[in-house]
Amino acid sequence: QYAQKDGFRFFMEKEIYEQSDVVSDCMLGRIKDNETFFDEIDASIIEGIKEIKICACGTSYHAGLTAAYLFERLSKVKCNVEIASEFRYKEPLLTDDTLFIVISQSGETADTLEALKMAKNAGLKSLVVCNVDNSSMTRVTDYKILTRAGIEKGVASTKAFSTQTVVLWMLALYFAKEKNVIDNEVLQNELHALREVPKSLIVNDKIHEKTKRLSKRYLHGHGFFFIGRDVFFPLALEGALKLKEISYLHAEGYPAGEMKHGPIALADPELFTIALMPQNLLYDKIKSNVEELSARDSTICAVSPLDFELADDFIKTEKTDHYMLEFFEMLVALQLLSMEISIRLGNDVDMPRNLAKSVTVE
């Protein structure tokens, strides 16, 4: 089922279109009336835990950064995230009241695997969020949760990221419920939103067409800033990484509020700013950040359900009532945008130069 392109131009495109279905699979049997739950773990996983540390590489690291906001906001547990290759050599202080979570599509990335072994040797409880069962990581870890995304062939990761993010969101709610730190109304609202995620991941034809049109001009861009706040900051990082990986254009993801501390000096009409402007999270804050960039003549592409008069270009997303639904809809838009630019540049979308699907050497 996952080995053919089924009429799509590239595996990446097929995998973008598959996200709605694989996320449904990923949630199957894991959401009950008033809680999330996983066959693979039980409440003992958080007994005595005061802190969560997440380690990963690449796109999986961005899922980790997103999760950190959710663990603190929903589960009320301290959480920090590190790039696995940095973690390994910094002589980290590890205490056994920390739950060590690694995230990996393949379960084979050398740096992440070594980080996991270090944590285990230090006596920490470990959990792997992984797409491949029987991988090196799932064999080493104490607990595992599988993301059920199916084989991912495109080197640029898409459906692995959406399933990881959904698993981590469900896990944040599981911890919140077990620790009794979440209000029932909030929990119901979160569960309601979770059930809507597959809908948010269905590719919107209008948005796909729009990214094709934008790609004609954007392929000439020499510099891109993807900006967002809160979970839309890791999403901005992911949008920028996708563009770099397959289009070979220079792109940076930045927290929108940090632009004024340096990067805004680069603003001019040749600088393309992709602004993630969700309706349901800090809209006024990001709006004023984007206004500053527009006043300095940056070309603005707003990704938002709300009209924004200073936008030079617009990718209009659906109105929803939860910021995470906006997150997933914007994710698809960013994946499509980088893919369409890459196709127009004539690149090999599935096998970008210099990159490997799984990096098993240091």
Q: How many residues interact with ligand G6P (rule CB under 6 A)?
A: 15
DSSP state of 297: T
Which is closer to ligand G6P, CB of 158 or CB of 320? Answer: 158
Torsion of CA 233, 235, 236, 241, to 10 degrees: 130
Coil vs helix vs strand at 24? helix
Stretch 112-141 residues interacting with ligand G6P (CB under 6 A) = 112
**Burial code of 79-95, b = ≥16 C-beta within 10 A, e = fewer?**
bebbbbbebbeeebebe
Cβ neighbors of 346 (< 8 A, separation 6 or more) are: none
Which is closer to ligand G6P, CB of 60 or CB of 141? Answer: 60
Which is closer to ligand G6P, CB of 233 or CB of 308? Answer: 233
Nearest to 253 by CA among 268, 238, 269: 238
Q: Residue 342, interface with ligand G6P (CB under 6 A)?
A: no
Nearest to 110 by CA among 87, 136, 128, 89: 136
> By CB under 6 A, which span of 58-66, 177-185, 220-228, 343-351 interacts with ligand G6P?
58-66
Q: Residue 58, interface with ligand G6P (CB under 6 A)?
A: yes
Does the active-site annotation cover 117?
Answer: no
Q: What is the DSSP string of 316-344?
A: EPPP-S-HHHHHHHHHHHHHHHHHHHHHH
60, 138, 165, 320: which one contacts ligand G6P (CB under 6 A)?
Answer: 60
Cβ atoms of 109 and 358 within 8 Å: the answer is: yes
Which is closer to ligand G6P, CB of 266 or CB of 359? Answer: 359
Q: Residue 200, interface with ligand G6P (CB under 6 A)?
A: no
Q: Which residue, judged by CB position, is nearest to ligand G6P in the bound state?
A: 58
Which is closer to ligand G6P, CB of 151 or CB of 355? Answer: 355
Give the shortest CB-244-to-ligand G6P separation in angstroms.
11
Which is closer to ligand G6P, CB of 65 or CB of 286? Answer: 65
36, 75, 98, 104: which one contacts ligand G6P (CB under 6 A)?
Answer: 104
How far is Cα 25 from Cα 31, in angstroms, rounded to an integer? 12
Sign of CA dihedral 98, 29, 170, 176: negative
The residue from 76, 78, 285, 357 that is catalytic is 357
Q: Residue 298, interface with ligand G6P (CB under 6 A)?
A: no
**146, amino acid identity:** L
Taking every pair of C-alpha atoms in the chain, what is the biggest distance, in angstroms? 55
Q: Residue 157, interface with ligand G6P (CB under 6 A)?
A: yes
109, 200, 273, 342: which one contacts ligand G6P (CB under 6 A)?
Answer: 109
> By CB under 6 A, which span of 15-23, 100-108, 200-208, 218-226 interacts with ligand G6P?
100-108
Cβ atoms of 133 and 106 within 8 Å: the answer is: no
Q: Residue 359, interface with ligand G6P (CB under 6 A)?
A: yes
Q: Residue 106, interface with ligand G6P (CB under 6 A)?
A: yes
Query: Catalytic site residues?
Result: 357
- Positions that interact with ligand G6P (CB under 6 A): 57-60, 104-106, 109, 112, 155, 157, 355, 357-359
